[in-house]
Structure 1
């Protein structure tokens, strides 16, 4: 017998409507978060006012506190994540070092950073605090800062292994990490669903939340000199023609020539926090922000009455119900050679009750939040 945590009556009724009564969910091939998240087409219970010109290849909108997915499109489609993967890097390593710990960067530390990477501007011979390195990660999406932190952690290979383990704990079963910085690599992919899991988990940490919300900082340039770095999240900073979004608190943007523009954001209005992930809109550096803002506007407006079409899974380490992988509808991988046997096909994340209603543990709200641009990097991050 399993002990089923309680859902609100509203959530239970809505989820009941999404599950075929009398049909075992596992046999139906449902995925992490609920069967509707594997379907093609937009999934929502309220279509009124939903943006009609969304061009992203995948997107998802969810309530941060309850974990309810309010609307989604191809939530489990595997795509290249670009620097949004740095959220998982932060989820994995943020608590490893004291903010005041200092590290002197060497030429060797910077030798293996992929050409074309976005950089915070680390210089050999300069000593940085851990706090400054994380500012480089979050504000400038610096692959140099990521690699130095990974080396401090015992190396890139060890860090990748730990990120994979963290993704498994968060039940992000459609994410495969090859590089900690999000740079394009064969076999590296994630989904709108998984990236939203990373953001939700990260925002529970006060340090993560503070870094994400930082608009600008002074960064060491050697000696007593500093230079200014600004957050490349345009909905936060209001740069390159993007209007700052009211209530924006983070989280992470990214760009590569293969991934296109990617973004996961979070905003709070009237005490409610929404999470949104938008992956690879058709055109324009600002499209990812425009489509994010449109989804947030809907979520805070007409979408506020939407019932859940799925849920964000809880981490196994926090009592989340363990997913039993089961083949179900799966979206295309980012490129044909991306499957290397590590990634697990999305699977049933919830257990059915006898009437065909599955229950998912509601998450307790706790409390806290960078980018990248490789293979051809975004000149306007």
Structure 2
């Protein structure tokens, strides 16, 4: 470690400091490592993605290499295996690397390569959460949420500790990477992480029971067209205390789900149209970001992106260039959505409420409708995980 400025030894200017603390114990270590590593990649011809700083791309002639870095874990892909092998040799000459071959696990996510698709799952991680909650022998349930709360909330001695509640809720947030079907339930639990009540502990246990019966579920990545389409929805005044609405949206690239979000809106909406319009603005921002990310992969999305909403009033408001007194408080969102419509970046389309896929991300649903929308989110079971006995 170089001598810090102001503390140089004039008698020994070429000496370095002995680092007594492990480099991973320093808060700025990951940033320094990223700066060093990315600087070397730029010398080799890579370029930073303008949309995602963890993505670096290399394009020379017909050769394309894409590198995704998360601290010290690296994922590399491209269309030229010999060029990738040459690049890894250069990389290994400067840094100490472990070549683990074709990706099958990355950041706790299991990647299975099937003949017609990839399958992403977190089966082992889900089981570790169930084990941490000491609910390995619990009875599974078919729905992570409940539309009607029980009159008497049963006490639970296993999950009654608030620190365990926070630990499990934090772990469940990472599970939503491949499980958008639990995103709403996890978002609801996270809002009460500072002071969990018996009702929240009851909902947490119900969610873990659902994961127990669906630990083998995951997301499929299938080969299809590269056309983006987004579904946006909002549940008006869903929070009984603050009366803030819940925003939910999901985006598909062809037939593959690539992005989704569940958020409680920061301000109180005065009408369902206003809450839906704020959800449209959030979905538009995420969709435009995905469009720019596609550009980094040299796939320009020329046609407008279809943005589906089941609120005709919000669609009419977005297509109306005239500002009214009732929309002054959402003027920024109005201009943002309207500008992207006039620029042909997005195209608002009405959709029936029964076909609104994002409905699963905004509110608790009945089990029948929940399963229907879960299938539409392309969440399926891992065929290589045994779920029961096979009959002849």
Give the TM-score taking structure 2 as reference length: 0.26
Higher relative contact order (CA 8 A, sep 6+): 1
Larger Rg: 2
Give the TM-score taking structure 1 as reference length: 0.27
Q: Which protein is richer in helix relative to its size? A: 2
